[in-house]
Amino acid sequence: MAQSRVAKRYATALFQEAQQKGTLETVIGDVRGLKTMLNDSRDFALFVASPVIKAAQKQAALKALATKTGFAPLTNNFLALLVEKSRIPALGDILNSFEALYNAANNLLPVEITSAIELDAGQKDSLLKKLETQTGKKPQPTYSVNPALIGGFTVKIGDSMMDSSIKHQLSLLKKRLLEGALN
């Protein structure tokens, strides 16, 4: 719980500074890049979380990374501050909190859509329009395909899940049939 408060505090400070300097769009790009690195590179995630690696080594490595990837000076300074204050292990939580602040400020809604087959452009547009109408926010979709759904799709928004898959419908039917057989 303390790490969550720390993450929110640091994310809010970065968000406000980025807004004030007019670099919010650049910083959100850096944040998303760092999130991708943390998720895709186990070595990077272990490096960030490691208490064994000295602060000076982390500082130098993160500065080199920021230079190589073209991070904004604000992002680079922020990473240096996290290392200096021994808050770099909370980087993932801080990035998530920052992105949540950005999404709320811009009325964006992250949505995970999983379908049994690849959706065509028309299907995607139709689904996104329905989600926008229902939520009043602009959906930011990520798409994936899972043939195990048999047909249909699932939509995950935060902790909520809408399941319109054939697999789910078959499961419900099986449950009803078994309940009927027991009565």
What is the structure's pLDDT at 113?
A: 97
Residue with tokens 């272990």: 46
Is residue 78 classed exposed, middle or buried when 0-12, 13-18 and 19+ CB atoms within 10 A define those classes?
buried
Q: What average pLDDT does the segment 8-29 reach? A: 97
Domains and CATH numbers, the chain: 2-104 (1.10.520.20), 107-182 (no CATH)
What is the structure's pLDDT at 183?
A: 61
In this predicted model, what pLDDT tens digit does every residue of 103-139 receive, in sequence order? 999 999 999 999 999 999 999 999 999 999 999 999 9
Element (H, E) at 140: strand 138-145
Cα–Cα distance for residue pair 116/152, rounded to 1 Å: 6
> Residue 163 in 3-state DSSP?
strand
Phi, psi of 28 (to 5 degrees): -65, -35
The pTM for the full model equals 0.82
In this predicted model, what pLDDT tens digit does every residue of 99-110 receive, in sequence order? 999 999 999 999
What is the structure's pLDDT at 181?
A: 67
- Beta bridge partner(s), residue 113: 143, 155
Q: What is the percentage of the chain residues whose pLDDT exceeds 70?
A: 97
Long-range contacts of 46-54, Cβ-Cβ distance < 8 Å, separation of 24 or more: 48/88, 48/89, 48/91, 48/92, 49/89, 51/89
In this predicted model, what pLDDT tens digit does every residue of 68-77 receive, in sequence order? 999 999 999 9
pLDDT class for 1, splitting at 50, 70, 90? Answer: very low
- For the cut 90, the answer to whether the pLDDT of residue 81 exceeds it is yes
- Beta bridge partner(s), residue 112: 142, 156
Tokens of 95: 């990035």
What is the structure's pLDDT at 4?
A: 84
Cα–Cα distance for residue pair 8/174, rounded to 1 Å: 44
DSSP state of 119: P
Mean pLDDT (the chain, rounded): 93
Q: What average pLDDT does the segment 40-56 reach? A: 94
Element (H, E) at 170: helix 166-182
What is the structure's pLDDT at 180?
A: 80
* Integer CA distances (angstroms), 179 to 17, 35, 163, 168, 176, in order: 58, 45, 21, 17, 5
- Compute the CA torsion angle 96, 141, 67, 71 (nearest 10 deg): -70
